[in-house]
């Protein structure tokens, strides 16, 4: 996490609930303690909640020397990337692995040592890569998290959760609309129109 960006997002959330911004996560104020404890879990939760384009990754995995436990039913273990928040699918030689199981910092599956194993996943990415709508959704969600422990205000929390949900919907819509436009096949209707 980029410390300055995380502080800015937390400070924006604190301002939304009527608190002063913070300049550091280190300190004993309620705002600093709660922001330090809740920022990364909330950011990770929202990053893993949807197939965002800005945090999608595909990486070749390193095979681990120790195979998984025999009871697992899988022949190989591969190290997960350290920034992995959510697995989409593993691939063995370019084909989706038919069966697999995540295991803490590894993924178990069936693959020979000579085969290439890759992983499509959603990663923890630097805040500078986030879209503006996603950033705003994180700010509102943080404000909701901060509302009760700092302000003791469940109504404010509910209002912030509603705003976070609205911003997440906008961010998802923008994420979905980033695909290139597809040509609609008109077939015989197009031929009739040209006559």
Does some domain include residue 181?
no
d(CA 140, CA 187): 47
Instruction: Determine how β-strand 100-103 pairs with β-strand 76-79.
Output: unpaired
Region for 128 from its dihedrals, namely left if φ exceeds 0, alpha if ψ lies in -120 to 50, beta otherwise: alpha
b/e code 84-97 from CB counts within 10 Å (16+ = b): bbeeeebbbeeeeb
Q: Which residue has the tokens 């400070």?
A: 11
Number of domains composing the chain: 2
**Residue 116 belongs to what domain range?**
57-122
In a shared domain, residues 29 and 77? no
In sequence order, the β-bridge partners of residue 102 are: 107
In a shared domain, residues 10 and 40? yes
pLDDT in tens, 178-195: 766 566 555 555 555 555
In a shared domain, residues 64 and 46? no
pLDDT in tens, 47-98: 999 999 999 999 999 999 998 887 789 999 999 999 999 999 999 999 999 9
In a shared domain, residues 69 and 118? yes
Mean pLDDT of 91-112: 94
- H or E element in which residue 137 lies: helix 132-151
């Amino acid at each position: 996490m980029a410390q300055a960006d995380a502080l800015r997002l937390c400070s924006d959330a604190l301002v939304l609930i009527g608190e002063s911004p913070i300049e550091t996560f280190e300190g004993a104020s309620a705002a600093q303690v709660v922001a330090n404890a809740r920022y990364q879990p909330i950011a990770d939760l929202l990053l893993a909640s949807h197939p965002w384009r800005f945090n999608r990754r595909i990486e070749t995995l390193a095979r681990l020397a120790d195979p998984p436990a025999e009871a697992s039913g899988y022949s190989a273990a591969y190290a997960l990337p350290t920034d992995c928040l959510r697995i989409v699918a593993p691939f063995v030689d370019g084909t989706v692995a038919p069966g697999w199981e995540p295991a803490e910092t590894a993924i178990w599956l069936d693959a020979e040592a000579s085969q290439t194993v890759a992983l499509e996943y959603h990663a923890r990415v630097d805040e500078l890569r986030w879209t503006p709508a996603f950033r705003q959704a994180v700010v509102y969600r943080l404000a909701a998290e901060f509302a009760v422990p700092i302000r003791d205000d469940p109504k404010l929390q509910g209002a912030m959760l509603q705003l976070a949900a609205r911003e997440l919907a906008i961010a998802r819509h923008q994420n979905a609309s980033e695909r290139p436009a597809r040509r609609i096949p008109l077939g015989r209707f197009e031929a009739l129109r040209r006559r």
